[in-house]
Chains A and B, each alone.
Chain A
Amino acid sequence: MTDRQIPFARLAFAAGCAATILAGAAVAQDMQGFAPLPDAPEINEVRAALGEMLFFDTRLSGDTANSCATCHDPARGWGDGAAMSTGYTGVEYFRNAPGLFNVADRNYLMWDGRLDGADLGTLVRDMLTESHTMHMDSRLAQERLKQVPEYMAMFEEAYGAEPYGGRIYGAIAEYIKTIRTENAPFDAYLRGDAAALSESAARGMELFAGEAGCAACHGGAMLSDGGLHATGAPDHPELQENADRQITMLRHFATMGTPNYMNLREDVGQYVVTKDDADIGKFVTPSLWDVGQTAPYMHSGVFPTLAEVVAFYDAGNDAIAPLGLSEAQEADLVAFLESLTGDAPEIPDPDLPDYALRVVGEN
């Protein structure tokens, strides 16, 4: 194990408790650091209803070509299903568009951890205004929404005020707080339904907490330690071949003030935030809830299936020790990961109101 390897040994006690794990969910919760999903956050329903419409409204992008939902499509696990996201028109992004399940409970936001998880409004602002995502002038967004009488009424109801950048971000942030894992078998199991897991999934759970060591980083109620780690997950090979993605990546590094950005040839992750060499290649530990809906995987979307993710960890690399799992064990782990997955969201595209002529002086 190198000094950048994750100290799985810390969780070695879990393996020793494997027999006990299966004895009951409550015990498993105690012994393995598992916990049911966090409680649903309080929601301001009026603002969330407004935010839902805005989430789907392409008028919040510079050229009105994409909405939040373009890259965070509920039918694709609130991602876009592609390895690396497309981003703004004429841009190609260099990372995977992550799903939004339980986004209210994350410690960091963005793969490189550049935003604080407690500040969803800033996340929304970043997505709307950044050149590589929606590239929107927020003052123009405000004026577009003011040209829609239905939005004027909804902002009045939600805020007692007119559309304005911060209120736009806040409403969308309130909406995405409602995006939650629903009816995942493992959550039911942790809440006492011992039958919720198949035998294979139960064996996978044991491996997850024990021999495979997944829980070292993917433990707790979010199935994430909320930290950033370098696991050696590779960039997508296409990054080396697609100049448009390279442009977007080096430009992002440049705007973050990254040293020597023109000469970087890999996604350096958290390094752009800290500028500490020790953080090169570190990415946020993603929550594994709903992981069955959010393929492909890793910061680069390099792995299309969960089986490939498990095989990646089993094989090990310079950063992580190999696991030596059998094929059956790998399949059990995948079965467990599937059990972290809840219902597919059924979110119809809202009917969006049109622009109308304004009455000068009335607004």
Chain B
Amino acid sequence: MHASSTTALAALALLLSGAASAQDAVPPLATLEPPPVPVDNPMSPDKVALGEKLFWDGRLSGNWSMPCSACHLPDVGWGTGGAISFGYPGTQHWRNSQTILNSAYYNKLFWEGSKTSLEAQAKGAAGGAVAGNGDGSMMEMRLRFVPEYVAAFKDVFGTEWPHSEQAWEAISAYQRTIVTDATMVPFDRLLAGDETALSDGAKRGLDLFNGKAGCIACHNGALASDQRFYNIGVPAAAEFGEDPLYQITLRWELYQKGGSEEDYRTGADDLGLYHQTKRPRDKHKFRTPSLRELRWTGPYMHNGSVETLADVVAFYDGGGGAGQTAGLEPLALSPEEQADLVTFLEALSMDEPLIREEPELPETATWAEFPR
């Protein structure tokens, strides 16, 4: 089934319905609506502006060196650009830093789905011992000694002093603005009626995505993620066997997340969703990531062990990795088909990466400058 450019829209509808029938009923790829906003954290321009500053502010970490932006840098896709994220100084993180782009759409955050809101995710990352390692009360007091913040928090939240929970709310509001602009995404332009938006290769790739390659089974809907958890057999990060700092963090996670003694003693890899559920069948399952903005957010997978989109496609073409339980099977794609898939995946990204400049941060003042 190959749609011609002149009948793209009609063919697309067929494609998507065909894929759905082949892969159970799954929602077709679609253009993202504005992200959902929780009723208890409404958006406002002032809140977003405050959140932007806080996103970049090292006050929200243990030793000032790890603001959100330390591991979510706009010019490397709002991640680190490396396989496994930076850790707090003296430590090493254990997973790939996920992009902030479109994080507003997820119903669960972190690779193992351990948080159910951006607000909770921000707090968890800022406080985690191998991430921000910030103490809530210390971070809060630092904010209270910044007159510009005191005024902004009072304006936005109505309280006399900043509270740390409000910082996570403001940062989340900011993150709800770090989303794909559909007018800049070839695939979304196609959906909007621009039949020339995709190259022929990308169109063939879309066909494969929805059909023979079966990607749509999990990467569906506007986010191109079903937000569910699968073990696709991504091998353990090599670093876990090579570097004591990675081993320390792995064991710390196995310990503090409360797995079994055997997991702790013999664990050599990230157990993913299992850390949350403790159900054996959930070992090594990770949340399906969105495929939007892939051009700007490599490397890929929970441990960043797959460097390019071509490698990702080749991984799936081979039926995933050892031990996978996601029902993957070899796809028998030709090299041309694999290339077409990559071309399509790239068409799910904006033409240019979304970049934000680092804002100027306000100064700390002594209590002599406190409001009266």
Contact = CB atoms under 8 A, between A and B. Distances in A.
Interface in A100-149: 131-132, 135, 137, 139-140, 142-144, 146-147
A360 B255 contact: no
Top 9 A-B pairs, shortest CB-CB distance: A64-B90, A131-B135, A355-B244, A137-B129, A89-B63, A251-B141, A63-B89, A90-B64, A90-B63
B63 A355 contact: no
A293 B145 CA distance: 36
Contacts of B368: 240
B145 A147 contact: no
A168 B88 CA distance: 22
Given A62-B90, A140-B252, A143-B248, A265 B367 contact: yes
Given A247-B141, A355-B244, 5 more contacts: A62-B129, A91-B138, A137-B129, A140-B129, A247-B145
Contacts of B244: 147, 355-358
Contacts, number: 120
Given A90-B62, A246-B366, A246-B367, A358 B252 contact: no
Interface residues of B, number: 43
Contacts of B248: 140, 143-144, 146-147, 355
A243 B366 contact: yes
B218 to A, nearest CB: 31
B308 interface: no
A50 interface: no
A254 interface: yes
Given A246-B145, A360-B266, A361-B265, A62 B133 contact: yes
A243 B62 contact: no
A258 B203 CA distance: 66
A9 interface: no
Contacts of A262: 144, 161, 370
Contact of A255 (B130, B137, B245): B137
A64 B251 CA distance: 18
A240 B90 contact: no
A76 interface: no
Contacts of A37: none
Interface of A: 59, 61-65, 88-91, 131-132, 135, 137, 139-140, 142-144, 146-147, 240-244, 246-248, 250-251, 254-255, 262, 265, 355-358, 360-361, 363
Nearest to B254: A143
Contacts of B63: 62-63, 65, 88-91, 135
Contacts of B89: 63-65, 89
8 contacts: A62-B133, A131-B138, A139-B252, A241-B366, A246-B366, A246-B367, A247-B142, A363-B265
A61 B91 CA distance: 11
A135 B367 contact: no
Interface string B129-163: 11001010110111011000000000000000100
A131 B252 contact: no
Interface string B117-131: 000000000000110
Interface string B159-183: 0010000000000000000000000
B247 A357 contact: yes
Contacts of B130: 140
A360 B135 CA distance: 32
A65 B251 contact: no
B268 interface: yes
A89 B64 CA distance: 8
A143 B364 CA distance: 36
A355 B88 CA distance: 18
